[in-house]
Structure 1
């Protein structure tokens, strides 16, 4: 089979689709054939074959392990073939190609996850035997394999697996530790003595692999590393190894040699410390002083910084930050309440280390060294101002796409020096506010005065101090009189237009944005708007304009924002932001500006109408330009949602463009729908809610809806709101053309929905029955037996049952014939003695039992109305036997919906009088076209047209006349005295 497999793998590597696809199909067919994985092994272990063929063989083998190695997997690899392959895979460690050696190691680790140690107890001993050997290549490959095996086994979380890993650690840890020490010493000696660089690299690569193994073992292989002398020996030697390795790195650098593996080795040392700190914080307690000394030396002293490099600095700072923020090292506010002595010990060690002198030095160093913009920063600002603004600590705004808050900053503090230093600054400032507030205020006082525009150093220092004051704004609330600062120095600094001073203008805009929501008097807000509008001027530096963009957003987002106060600045702000949007080129920057425009539209509402013509015209162009940028398209869709709401019925001017955007965003066959769907649905709903009339384009969008309903329930509520909006927009036409499709689709998924989703579907059905009673009753016919059966059984959640009862009631009101027909159909389905009379009686029994759980007044009145109509001489005994309960429920409903007017007469509050406006029953912030349509439908609903009291009076008088006074008196005798007394308030039965 080997020759055939080689041939197919060669064809599978072809660039010609006509050759590639048949080869891939053949390989898929072979995946479950006996001997296929043995053939793949023979291919990738044959060093004479082409590397790309061997590469494909390893990849297919790996995929096969994922799918077919596990016991019980469909098409699993036979046990005897697995046993053969396990033996062959560790029979040789001589792969000459590094990339293939890595893949083979990962492959062995994947199998180890399933089989080690039960079916493969020879794996680790064999690897260790090779490691002890003298063959350098075999030793390296064995170490690489052991690293991936240990990494995989350490990730298993079941108690039995963790126990096995602890046993493995006990058996191999000291051997690996001694070997690591040997190779690390060899590396240090070779560098000190000027050894051959290839030998240095080979030795260090093995030391790095051993260190990675030790890291997994010490973190995952001990219950408490502090109780193991071997583990603590390793952790204590880590600090010295970092120092000597950094010195060797500097020696190599002085010779013009840069070894990437050396950087990785040093970073791995810090990862060991951070890993223990995060996973075994109480075992780390006694290492706190040494770790803090380690971080401070390399990050905050000249001697240490001469040895350090950026990635190492980031790791060291993150080590300090993790110690500062660890919840396990924070005692209760009252120390005596903290029961864990290790927490108290850790807290005391931190307090002892962070003396006033140390805090002063760290704070000053962070601000005056790490926060200062470098020449390369300024060069980037000149060459690429948009990306400079994105990456250099003027935080990007929070972008609300996908209707969830996404902070674009993410976890950049873990990997980038400037965000890292800022996060450490905040962590240390929060914990030692009393000391550091004074330090920062002193720095601020020294640098807050205007400086010479030609003194770049002074400008950079001022920028750094302002950055710190902005970051610590919350903690400086009581220390800084921001109103005074704003109205004097900051305002004046924005007027200095020299090139160097753009650094301060940009920072001042950012600083104002940071402090706006914290401490800025309301009387200064108009001035703030004016200053930000001026900073948005096209003549201003782009970096400053982008900072003003962000500051303006924060000012508008503040709870003190007043639309009228902002109105004089609305037009210039909007125009300048729009000009900025057109000017910038980067996708992220366009999103950043468009977000502020969108937010402004949202906050100002209809007041934006006079100013959005240009933006409305530009968005189609931007949409075309952003074809490959889905996140920018999300921002555009979100902006269109706000535009639709702001324009109201006038939004029909946007309809052609908006319809096209919705069509693409909500089409599951378009790749972009994954990103655009949620915002697209919001836009679809906004379009329907604000359009004054139906159009063929709007109606044509509905073709996308069935697929969306079937796809998942994630956006179910939005989809159902959209369908309801269509129903209210054009009830007859919409139900005629789409009713059957809606019912068929929802019926197919109804059984898979959660109760809250079923409730939403039933509300949609009720809306249909309100909007077009006769037509909707016919459309719903296929689902009605299912709904009636649910009422018959009476086992649903109260809210769902309330909706089922409402639908049954509306079917009764809309079409008695349909009601009888459904009862007849249900009795046939139930079979046995479930005749029509019994079914109706059981539904009535559930109805009167569940009706007290209905709390919405409209629903309660609806159910009571239908109960009134059931008080009829033609109703069967199975219904009339519940006469007392029926009357009790009706009286309860009357009590809830009735008030006494000025004349002392009971009035149905759900039936508006001539002097009352029906709109008073609508609690909406603004009247959309959809709200108007909904209100009109509500006004014409029986619940708001018919007096329940009058219907009850009529029904009871008629019933008494038809059944006779004696029979009627007997029926009334069964009613409680209390209900009888309440009944007399509403009806008169005297002849």
Structure 2
């Protein structure tokens, strides 16, 4: 079978579009292939695969009875087609169907048609055949898109088949597990079939009806049917067409049944499968899950303890916790007694399980911080794991740096006082051998620290700032790194001028230059590289920072006055927009108050961190200071310092067109 599959799929056996370009061997192979795969041969192969090889065997039916979990989660993905008969026949069927769909579609549709109407529950051969044909229709769902009206079939046939009452029977040729509930074969196959078609063709209006079906089948006496139903639920909830409001009336009952199923199953693989369904439901309904998670929250610590030897199951628990924390928001603080030790273990590189748990553990750590209403000593203590993680500088670096940012937003003072010294050392080591993109990620953390806490941030990251200063003066070649350097310089100059002054003194000594001369070099480079800065927020910050040097009687600042004004006018062009009510120009970056956004059902509510960022923005000069007003006041102060004549001479150093634009922006003030 694998040989036939390879022949069917082999591109070397297909002629090129332009026959002249084809190799003689390809043309010969194509000829042989065409001669073999005739209409009658393909029809026979299609029928035989479905009616013979797709039938459930006596061994499989015995396994269903004796080991339902093993039967339900039997491996069919990956490379299983290479060495296992059922996946092998299914993959061969799919490949042949895909390549010869015009021939095989009528064959399969005829088989479906022959099995419509009520099934004789006494006829086990017909039951097994229906299971096999429905399997084929599910596998070929995408190929059959135009040929089957699935919505109509669901309403007229499949729904009825899910409602047939339970009988008991003996299968022809099967061992006498006297034994199997006859129609559960079809219930399990039909709910599987719906799962295969849900993303292909299934009308949104029919979803509530499907949720009714899921609710019933999650109470089916047969475990295999319940597990298959849970899998189809995941496919339904995970689908693009999923609408939360349609699902909410069923949420409480279905979630309760999923939780029961999680407790009932005993195998790790099955528990993982059910946990993935639970995670998916929590993720899609978000905060609507809050009233129903009490039992799950109580059960997960027990499951975590039981799964000590099963790291993949623990990964599934971590994923569930991630979605649970996001759904609970600030209420997730009640989980900390369980949650924080889990994060601690998963992210400790000295513990063997971290090999499996680290990635999900970091994600859980991050969402826990983002949803935390306030710092706790225990939450702060976990950060001891971070220095070893930063030493790895692996693919998890981005998440690690997001975690650092989250701590800064959550409680900058507590965090920086406890950990900034070690963090600064880690950053200095990282910056020595890291890509430009990595440098930007690290430097953005420093920028966030300066934004949240200008004084403490500058003090704590003091050892790192000279390298930023050097990069600026030397004209860092990589634009995104230079832009980040200027963002950091802007924060220090604007919000901690005394620190900037002491840094300038320190660097002048290092460069063996006069302070004024070095300041002139910084301003000149800043003006020259302003185009490296693409974010409007950073462009406005640069303008505010350079304007903060005014008023000044320093000859160097006055020499660079023209450049400062050029940057100011550029930034005014970036941020000034016309007020639709008054027709006057206003700074579009100003934020005056914090509004809770109005959300639709499908939108995620803001996290606690989102709220912290909003409140911080209200105090950030970029969002609280009008650039227009600030420029006006600084120029007025410079004029008062120098007198009209001196100020007039200073303004003459600026291009007349720039002066005209500046006056336009400042008129009316």
How high is the TM-score relative to the length of structure 1? 0.64
- CA distance in structure 2 between the aligned counterparts of 1:335 and 1:320, rounded to whole angstroms: 26
1:429 aligned to 2:97?
yes
Whether the aligned pair in 2 keeps the contact of 1:330 and 1:347 (CA below 8 Å) is yes
1:572 aligned to 2:256?
no
Q: 1:776 to 1:480 in 2, by over 3 A?
A: same
Q: How does 1:19-98 map to 2 (within 5 A)?
A: none
CA RMSD of aligned residues (A): 2.1
- CA distance in structure 1 between the aligned counterparts of 2:533 and 2:488, rounded to whole angstroms: 14
Which of 316, 333, 348 is the aligned partner of 1:667? 348
Which of 33, 38, 56 is the aligned partner of 1:350? 33
Could you say which residue in structure 1 is the equivalent of 2:14? 330
Q: How does 1:62-461 map to 2 (within 5 A)?
A: 317-331=1-15, 334=17, 336=19, 339-391=22-74, 409-461=77-129
1:463 aligned to 2:142?
no
Q: CA deviation at 1:867?
A: 1.3
Q: Deviations over 1:924-955 (max 9, x none)?
A: 94221111111111111111222222221222
Q: CA deviation at 1:784?
A: 0.9
- CA distance in structure 2 between the aligned counterparts of 1:720 and 1:488, rounded to whole angstroms: 55
- CA distance in structure 2 between the aligned counterparts of 1:869 and 1:962, rounded to whole angstroms: 15
Q: CA deviation at 1:427?
A: 0.5
- CA distance in structure 1 between the aligned counterparts of 2:377 and 2:119, rounded to whole angstroms: 65
Q: CA deviation at 1:660?
A: 1.2
Whether the aligned pair in 2 keeps the contact of 1:785 and 1:823 (CA below 8 Å) is no
Could you say which residue in structure 2 is the equivalent of 1:75? none
Q: CA deviation at 1:464?
A: 1.0
Question: Could you say what secondary structure the match of 2:548 adopts?
Answer: helix
Q: Which has the larger radius of gyration?
A: 1
Could you say which residue in structure 2 is the equivalent of 1:950? 629
Q: CA deviation at 1:559?
A: 1.5
Q: Deviations over 1:525-547 (max 9, x none)?
A: 1111111121111x421111111
Whether the aligned pair in 1 keeps the contact of 2:290 and 2:327 (CA below 8 Å) is yes
Could you say which residue in structure 2 is the equivalent of 1:683? 364
Q: How does 1:553-564 map to 2 (within 5 A)?
A: 553-564=234-245
Could you say which residue in structure 2 is the equivalent of 1:838? 517
Could you say which residue in structure 2 is the equivalent of 1:509? 191
Whether the aligned pair in 2 keeps the contact of 1:509 and 1:548 (CA below 8 Å) is yes
- CA distance in structure 1 between the aligned counterparts of 2:209 and 2:631, rounded to whole angstroms: 66
Q: Deviations over 1:567-588 (max 9, x none)?
A: 1211111111111110111111
Q: CA deviation at 1:983?
A: 1.2
Whether the aligned pair in 2 keeps the contact of 1:858 and 1:943 (CA below 8 Å) is yes
Q: CA deviation at 1:664?
A: 0.7
Q: Deviations over 1:750-784 (max 9, x none)?
A: 11121112111111111111111111110011111
1:762 aligned to 2:446?
no
Q: How does 1:513-532 map to 2 (within 5 A)?
A: 513-532=195-214
Could you say which residue in structure 2 is the equivalent of 1:857? 536
Could you say which residue in structure 1 is the equivalent of 2:567? 889
- CA distance in structure 2 between the aligned counterparts of 1:344 and 1:827, rounded to whole angstroms: 77
- CA distance in structure 1 between the aligned counterparts of 2:599 and 2:493, rounded to whole angstroms: 27
What stretches of structure 2 of length at least 5 have no aligned partner?
168-180
Whether the aligned pair in 1 keeps the contact of 2:594 and 2:614 (CA below 8 Å) is no
Whether the aligned pair in 2 keeps the contact of 1:506 and 1:547 (CA below 8 Å) is yes
Q: CA deviation at 1:870?
A: 2.4
Q: 1:918 to 1:331 in 2, by over 3 A?
A: farther
Whether the aligned pair in 2 keeps the contact of 1:453 and 1:459 (CA below 8 Å) is yes
- CA distance in structure 2 between the aligned counterparts of 1:744 and 1:467, rounded to whole angstroms: 60
- CA distance in structure 1 between the aligned counterparts of 2:256 and 2:96, rounded to whole angstroms: 42
Whether the aligned pair in 2 keeps the contact of 1:806 and 1:862 (CA below 8 Å) is yes
Q: CA deviation at 1:988?
A: 6.3
Whether the aligned pair in 1 keeps the contact of 2:591 and 2:617 (CA below 8 Å) is no
Question: Could you say what secondary structure the match of 2:577 adopts?
Answer: strand
Could you say which residue in structure 2 is the equivalent of 1:932? 611
- CA distance in structure 2 between the aligned counterparts of 1:922 and 1:548, rounded to whole angstroms: 32
Whether the aligned pair in 2 keeps the contact of 1:666 and 1:680 (CA below 8 Å) is yes
Q: Deviations over 1:556-605 (max 9, x none)?
A: 11211111111121111111111111011111110101100100000011
Q: CA deviation at 1:347?
A: 2.7
Q: 1:989 to 1:410 in 2, by over 3 A?
A: closer
Whether the aligned pair in 2 keeps the contact of 1:922 and 1:935 (CA below 8 Å) is no
Q: CA deviation at 1:677?
A: 0.7
Could you say which residue in structure 2 is the equivalent of 1:807? 488
- CA distance in structure 2 between the aligned counterparts of 1:575 and 1:873, rounded to whole angstroms: 70
Question: Could you say what secondary structure the match of 1:634 adopts?
Answer: helix
User: How many residues of Structure 1 are paired with residues of Structure 2 in the alignment?
Assistant: 652
- CA distance in structure 1 between the aligned counterparts of 2:84 and 2:555, rounded to whole angstroms: 80
Q: CA deviation at 1:876?
A: 4.0
Q: 1:417 to 1:323 in 2, by over 3 A?
A: same
Question: Could you say what secondary structure the match of 1:907 adopts?
Answer: strand
Q: 1:931 to 1:713 in 2, by over 3 A?
A: same
Question: Could you say what secondary structure the match of 2:3 adopts?
Answer: helix
- CA distance in structure 2 between the aligned counterparts of 1:759 and 1:939, rounded to whole angstroms: 25
Could you say which residue in structure 2 is the equivalent of 1:585? 266
Q: CA deviation at 1:356?
A: 0.7
Q: Deviations over 1:466-521 (max 9, x none)?
A: 11111111111122222222112211222222202111111111111111111222
1:984 aligned to 2:663?
yes
Q: CA deviation at 1:352?
A: 1.7
Whether the aligned pair in 2 keeps the contact of 1:529 and 1:566 (CA below 8 Å) is yes
Q: Deviations over 1:69-111 (max 9, x none)?
A: xxxxxxxxxxxxxxxxxxxxxxxxxxxxxxxxxxxxxxxxxxx
Whether the aligned pair in 2 keeps the contact of 1:506 and 1:548 (CA below 8 Å) is yes
Q: CA deviation at 1:716?
A: 0.9
Q: How does 1:499-648 map to 2 (within 5 A)?
A: 499-537=181-219, 539-648=220-329
Q: CA deviation at 1:850?
A: 1.1
- CA distance in structure 2 between the aligned counterparts of 1:884 and 1:694, rounded to whole angstroms: 47
- CA distance in structure 2 between the aligned counterparts of 1:668 and 1:516, rounded to whole angstroms: 42
Q: CA deviation at 1:793?
A: 0.9
Whether the aligned pair in 1 keeps the contact of 2:494 and 2:548 (CA below 8 Å) is no
Could you say which residue in structure 1 is the equivalent of 2:171? none
- CA distance in structure 2 between the aligned counterparts of 1:565 and 1:933, rounded to whole angstroms: 33
Q: CA deviation at 1:391?
A: 2.1
Q: CA deviation at 1:450?
A: 2.8
What stretches of structure 1 of length at least 5 have no aligned partner?
1-316, 396-408
Question: Could you say what secondary structure the match of 2:143 adopts?
Answer: helix
1:695 aligned to 2:376?
yes
- CA distance in structure 2 between the aligned counterparts of 1:835 and 1:543, rounded to whole angstroms: 81
- CA distance in structure 2 between the aligned counterparts of 1:520 and 1:925, rounded to whole angstroms: 26
Could you say which residue in structure 2 is the equivalent of 1:874? 553
Q: 1:337 to 1:671 in 2, by over 3 A?
A: farther
Q: Deviations over 1:258-297 (max 9, x none)?
A: xxxxxxxxxxxxxxxxxxxxxxxxxxxxxxxxxxxxxxxx
Q: CA deviation at 1:835?
A: 3.1
Structure with higher RCO (Cα < 8 A, 6+ apart): 2
Q: 1:886 to 1:339 in 2, by over 3 A?
A: farther
- CA distance in structure 2 between the aligned counterparts of 1:638 and 1:605, rounded to whole angstroms: 14
Question: Could you say what secondary structure the match of 1:628 adopts?
Answer: coil
Question: Could you say what secondary structure the match of 1:476 adopts?
Answer: coil
Q: 1:335 to 1:424 in 2, by over 3 A?
A: farther
- CA distance in structure 2 between the aligned counterparts of 1:323 and 1:871, rounded to whole angstroms: 78
Whether the aligned pair in 2 keeps the contact of 1:367 and 1:465 (CA below 8 Å) is yes
Q: CA deviation at 1:918?
A: 5.8
Q: 1:919 to 1:770 in 2, by over 3 A?
A: farther
